[in-house]
C-alpha cells in the first residue's frame, strides 16, 4: 500500500488531537507515516504508534523551528519528491496551510484546504469542504501531482490502530534562502486550562450581550469542560483576546455543541460556527438571527439563564 504522510502537530513532542484524527484518515487511504519536525519525537512516538503510524520521519533541527514555514516546506517537499507518498495530510491551522501552499508549488501539486472529510474515491482521494459560511458543501479532488490536503480539526473520530512508529531520522540541510524570516522572540501565552478552541467538543461563546463580563460564560464553559470563544463585537470591544474570536476573521469551529450567549449571529459570526452539530443560543432579543440556526434557544438574560444552567449541570455531576 502507498504511504500517506501526516505532518504532526505538536508542542515539544506533545501531540495534538488533530494528529490522531489525520492518522485515522490516512489509514483509510493507505499506510500512514508521520512527519515530525523539531524536538520531542521520542515523547511523541507512543501517541503516533497508537494511531497507526508505521514510520516517523524526523528532522530535529533549529533550522526548521527558528523560522517561519519556509524551512518546513523545503523539508516536506524534499521528502515528498524522494518517497512519493500517495498523499500529504496537514492540519488546517494557519501555519499548516502556509506550509502546504509552499509544498504544493515546490512539488507541482494540487492543494485542497479546510477539508472536513477525506475518503478514498474510485481512483482518487475525495475531499469535502464547507464553503460560503457553511451554506454549501463542495466535494473535490486534486488532479495534478501529490494530493496535498489540509484537514480541519474534528473531521474524523480518532481510531486506535497499533503500529510500529519506527523513528527514521532524516538529514537535510535547509538552504539559506529558506531562512529569511527568523523568529527572534516568542512570548508563550498563559494557558487558560481550557480545551483548545478549534479542537474542543463543546464551545461556549459570549458576545455583545455580556457587556464585557464573561464570568457567567466561563463558569458555564467550565461546568461542561468547554472552550470559551467570543464574537467579533466582544473582541473589538477589547473584552476577550482575538485568538478566541469565532467567525470569518477568527477561528472556524465545528464542535459537537456550540452555545452562543448574547451573540446576535451576524453572517461573519455564522461563518465560524454554522457547521457545529448542535447549536444552542441565549439572547434577550427574540428576533436575533442566531435563533434561525438553533436546536434549542432561550429568549432571556444570559446573566439569569447561564448561572441557573451551570448549577443544574454541576448538580447532575453529583
Partner 1 sequence: MTITMNIVVCVKYVPDAQAERGFDDSDLTTNRESVEGLLSELDEYAIEEALKIAEGSEGEVTVVTVGPERAADAVKKALQMGADKGVHVSDPAIKGSDAWATSLILAHTINKIGSPDLVLTGMSSTDGSMAVVPAMLAERLGLPQITLVSELTVTEGSVQARRDGDVASETIVGTLPAVVSVTDQINEPRYPSFKGIMAAKKKPVETWSLADLGIDAGQVGAAGAYTEVIAVTKRPPRAQGEIVADDGDGGTKLAAFLAARKFI
For position 84 contacting partner 1 by CB under 8 A, the verdict is no
Q: Are 10 and 37 in contact (CB under 8 A)?
A: no
For position 60 contacting partner 1 by CB under 8 A, the verdict is no
Quick note: the x/- pattern for partner 1 over 282-301, rule CB under 8 A, is x---x----xxxxxxxxxxx
Candidate list 39, 168, 172, 202; residue touching partner 1; CB under 8 A = 202
For position 78 contacting partner 1 by CB under 8 A, the verdict is no
**Of the candidates 2, 170, 167, 141, which has an alpha carbon nearest to the alpha carbon of residue 84?**
2
257 sits in which H/E element? strand 257-261
Count Cβ atoms within 10 A of the Cβ of residue 29 and give its class: 0-12 exposed, 13-18 middle, 19 or more buried. Answer: buried
Of 50 and 298, which has the nearer Cβ to partner 1?
298
For position 215 contacting partner 1 by CB under 8 A, the verdict is no
Of 49 and 87, which has the nearer Cβ to partner 1?
87
For position 53 contacting partner 1 by CB under 8 A, the verdict is no
Q: How far apart are CA 147 and CA 90, in angstroms?
A: 11
Residue 133 Cβ vs partner 1, minimum distance, rounded to whole Å: 7
Radius of gyration of the chain (CA): 21
Candidate list 123, 177, 193, 287; residue touching partner 1; CB under 8 A = 177
Residue 51 Cβ vs partner 1, minimum distance, rounded to whole Å: 22
108-147: contacts with partner 1 (CB under 8 A)? 109-114, 126, 130-145
**Of the candidates 284, 282, 283, 263, which has an alpha carbon nearest to the alpha carbon of residue 273?**
263
Of 24 and 109, which has the nearer Cβ to partner 1?
109
228-267: contacts with partner 1 (CB under 8 A)? 242-243, 248-249, 256-257, 267
In the sheet where 166-169 sits, what is the strand order?
125-131, 111-120, 148-151, 87-91, 3-7, 31-37, 55-59, 166-169
Of 222 and 301, which has the nearer Cβ to partner 1?
301
Residue 155 Cβ vs partner 1, minimum distance, rounded to whole Å: 16
Count Cβ atoms within 10 A of the Cβ of residue 261 and give its class: 0-12 exposed, 13-18 middle, 19 or more buried. Answer: buried
Of 120 and 278, which has the nearer Cβ to partner 1?
278
Candidate list 29, 89, 100, 221; residue touching partner 1; CB under 8 A = 100
For position 89 contacting partner 1 by CB under 8 A, the verdict is no
How does DSSP classify residue 248? T
Cα 158 from chain centre: 14
Amino acid at each position: 500500500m502507498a504511504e500517506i504522510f501526516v505532518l504532526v502537530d505538536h508542542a515539544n513532542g506533545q501531540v495534538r488531537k488533530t494528529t490522531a484524527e489525520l492518522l485515522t484518515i490516512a489509514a483509510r487511504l493507505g499506510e500512514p507515516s508521520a512527519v515530525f519536525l523539531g524536538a520531542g519525537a521520542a515523547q511523541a512516538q507512543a501517541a503516533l504508534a497508537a494511531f497507526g503510524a508505521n514510520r516517523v520521519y524526523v528532522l530535529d533541527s533549529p533550522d526548521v523551528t527558528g523560522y517561519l514555514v519556509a524551512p518546513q516546506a523545503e523539508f516536506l517537499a524534499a521528502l515528498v519528491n524522494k518517497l512519493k507518498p500517495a498523499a500529504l495530510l496537514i492540519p488546517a491551522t494557519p501555519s499548516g496551510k502556509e506550509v502546504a501552499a509552499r509544498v504544493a508549488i515546490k512539488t507541482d501539486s494540487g492543494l485542497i484546504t479546510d477539508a472536513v472529510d477525506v475518503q478514498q474515491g474510485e481512483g482518487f482521494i475525495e475531499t469535502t469542504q464547507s464553503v460560503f459560511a457553511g451554506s454549501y458543501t463542495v466535494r473535490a479532488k486534486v488532479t495534478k501531482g501529490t494530493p496535498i490536503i489540509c484537514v480541519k480539526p474534528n473531521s474524523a473520530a480518532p481510531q486506535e490502530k497499533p503500529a510500529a512508529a519506527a523513528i527514521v531520522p532524516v538529514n537535510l540541510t535547509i538552504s539559506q534562502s529558506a531562512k529569511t524570516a527568523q523568529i527572534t522572540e516568542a512570548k508563550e501565552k498563559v494557558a487558560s486550562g481550557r480545551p483548545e478552541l478549534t479542537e474542543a467538543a463543546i464551545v461556549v461563546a459570549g458576545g455583545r450581550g455580556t457587556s464585557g463580563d464573561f464570568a457567567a460564560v466561563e463558569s458555564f464553559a467550565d461546568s461542561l469542560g468547554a472552550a470559551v470563544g467570543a464574537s467579533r463585537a466582544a473582541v473589538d470591544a477589547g473584552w476577550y483576546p482575538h485568538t478566541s474570536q469565532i467567525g470569518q476573521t477568527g477561528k472556524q469551529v465545528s464542535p459537537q455543541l456550540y452555545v452562543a450567549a448574547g451573540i446576535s449571529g451576524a453572517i461573519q459570526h455564522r461563518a465560524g460556527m454554522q457547521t457545529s452539530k448542535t447549536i444552542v443560543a441565549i439572547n434577550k432579543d427574540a428576533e436575533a438571527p442566531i435563533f434561525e440556526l438553533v436546536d434549542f434557544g432561550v429568549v432571556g438574560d444570559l446573566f439569569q439563564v447561564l448561572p441557573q444552567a451551570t448549577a443544574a449541570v454541576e448538580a447532575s455531576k453529583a
